Amino acid sequence: MRSKEKIAEEIVLIRYYNVLFYLFFKTGMDDFKRQCLIKKIDDGESMRMKQIQDWCHCHQIPFKTKFTYRKDFSFRVNLWNLYSYCRFKIERQ
């Protein structure tokens, strides 16, 4: 029988230049996975969008992405990052 209880989720936000990654970890079940990812990032390991996506798929962590315009970047840099994000989204499908 399937339980109808909602599983509590913890959302971890990762910013990769203009792209925000929202990772949805199940509280109590994915705590170890979350700590491993946080340690990788805190240790300074470089991760690109594709690597974040691959990590999430490998560990079965659902995620969503959102592009945000950053005023601290020039228009040209924002445009290039938008282009990179669109390529990432197309390749993801």
Asked if residue 30 is part of any domain, the answer here is yes
Asked if residue 63 is part of any domain, the answer here is yes
Asked if residue 60 is part of any domain, the answer here is yes
Rounded percentage of the chain residues whose pLDDT exceeds 90: 83
Q: Which of 55, 72, 70 is nearest to 21 (CA)?
A: 55
Asked if residue 47 is part of any domain, the answer here is yes
Give the per-residue pLDDT at 93.
Answer: 78
CB hemisphere CA count around 13 (13 angstroms): 7
Give the model confidence (pLDDT) of 15-56 as tens digits.
Answer: 999 999 999 999 989 999 999 999 999 999 989 999 999 999
Asked if residue 15 is part of any domain, the answer here is yes
Give the residue-averaged pLDDT of 45-72.
Answer: 95
CB 82 within 8 A of CB 18: yes
Query: Binning pLDDT at 50, 70 and 90, where does residue 4 land?
Result: low
Q: How far is residue 39's CA from residue 91's CA, in Å, rounded to a whole number?
A: 28
| Tally of domains in the chain | 1
The residue segments making up the domain with residue 58 are 9-92
pTM for the full model? Answer: 0.85
Asked if residue 71 is part of any domain, the answer here is yes
Asked if residue 29 is part of any domain, the answer here is yes
Which amino acid, 54? D
